[in-house]
Amino acid sequence: MNILIRADSSSIIGTGHIMRDLVLAKQFRDADILFASQDLDGNINHKVIESGYKLNLLKSNDIEELSDLIKKESIELIVIDHYGIDTEYEKELKAQNPTLKIMVLDDTYEKHYCDILLNHNIYADEKKYKNLVPKGCELRCGAKYTLIRDEFRKEKKKKTSTLYNPIKTIFLAMGGADTQNLNPKILKILQKFENIKAVVVTTTANKNLQELKKYAKGKKWITLHINSNRVAKLVRKSDFAIITPSVTANEVYFMQKPFLAIQTAQNQKEMYSYLKKNGYSVMKKFNAKKVKDAIAKIKEIELINFVDLTLEEKKMILEWRNDDSVKKWMLNQEDITLEEHLKYIESLKSSKSKLYMAVKKEGAYIGVIDFMAIDFKDSSAYFGLYANPFKKTKGAGSTLQETCIKYAFDILKLHKLKLEVFSNNERAIGLYKKFHFKEAARETINDKEIIYMELRNEDRKF
């Protein structure tokens, strides 16, 4: 089959159309594929050539020029990924080429005259296309059709270190063209924090690239990646991402990384609305204070593995655990000796199924979280937590619970988190329900009723 992909890129348009079309092109196996693009300022047409596809440079977006190319190359299917081509253009193209099949990529629920419509974004709802496309049009909408580059699928399978690192890596990608020139503004905010590394991804389509290079020069905490082929790896190794609610959001969402999405273009409004509705961190426009607050939030929590604690810190944890307000909610309610405590912590060094961590907030110890029966094959684990009984910190329970969930799903890459709780521990049960844990079973042990609860990654709300 002869297929023509019509898409442009530039410092104004951006680079997302070409990048996702290169992913789509791989799905047309054994087809003869030709890209048709204009030679606009700041384009990434070279990506098409580098990917092994033929490229025809158009002089304009004129329908006659495109129709002539279709006839010349005996095109059977045209893929249109272009905001400058509307339903009337598509109708005329069909009229001039009656046997031509038209496939359109759409992000914003526009009217189209096509045989196939693809909205590959995670927010896409095919019901919204009623009366926007012909009756016989095949609709391909939602996460099932999301165009994810192979590099992301490969990187997601790789394990990320579970060791706590006080230096946080921020993945920053304000679009290949960064039309609002936000990269330097965000970097200036990040510079105010200690122990921050910034990984900035951009392209030669960025008309402010020289300004960005000048700002990054000499700053060891900034690494600039231009036209990078390692984006997936950079996302995997990061702790937090600052992105636009665009194609990049599909990819970061796929990699299950926490992020802040800042809308920079009108065509991002649907993704913005979807993310906001589902509890993700978003901004309708850039706000320096909100960006600063988002970074402060990820910096305020520190996790220290029990095996890395000093002797004094280990004794402190033991004192917490043996306090009546803590141990009364445990299956083993006997006091633990220092010798037993230290021996158990030593055993954690060789354990692959157990992980215990002390939690600090703004420099002060607020409690403990632990993971037991970690099973990477089953992608599940049990967890426990308790707050520092000698220092009441407002919201400590919620902070510890949120930290558990994020660590289990974002770092350990588990799919299910499980817990056991006494049925009379109403306060704890209320906390778990707040974070959408659901009851799975009940049983009685030593005359005490135990409730088993669980949370799946897809049911989390942050």
Catalytic residues: 17
The 3-class secondary structure across 365-412, one letter per residue, is EEEEEEEEEEECCCCEEEEEEEECCCCCCCCHHHHHHHHHHHHHHHHC
Q: Output the CA torsion 225→193→251→413 (10° steps).
A: 120
Read off the amino acid at residue 391.
K
For 211, how many CA atoms within 13 A lie in the half-sphere containing its CB?
12
From residue 260, alpha-carbon distances to 49, 235, 242 in Å are: 33, 13, 5
Residue pair 132/159 in contact by the 8 Å Cβ criterion: no
- CB within 8 Å of 392: residues ≥ 6 apart: none
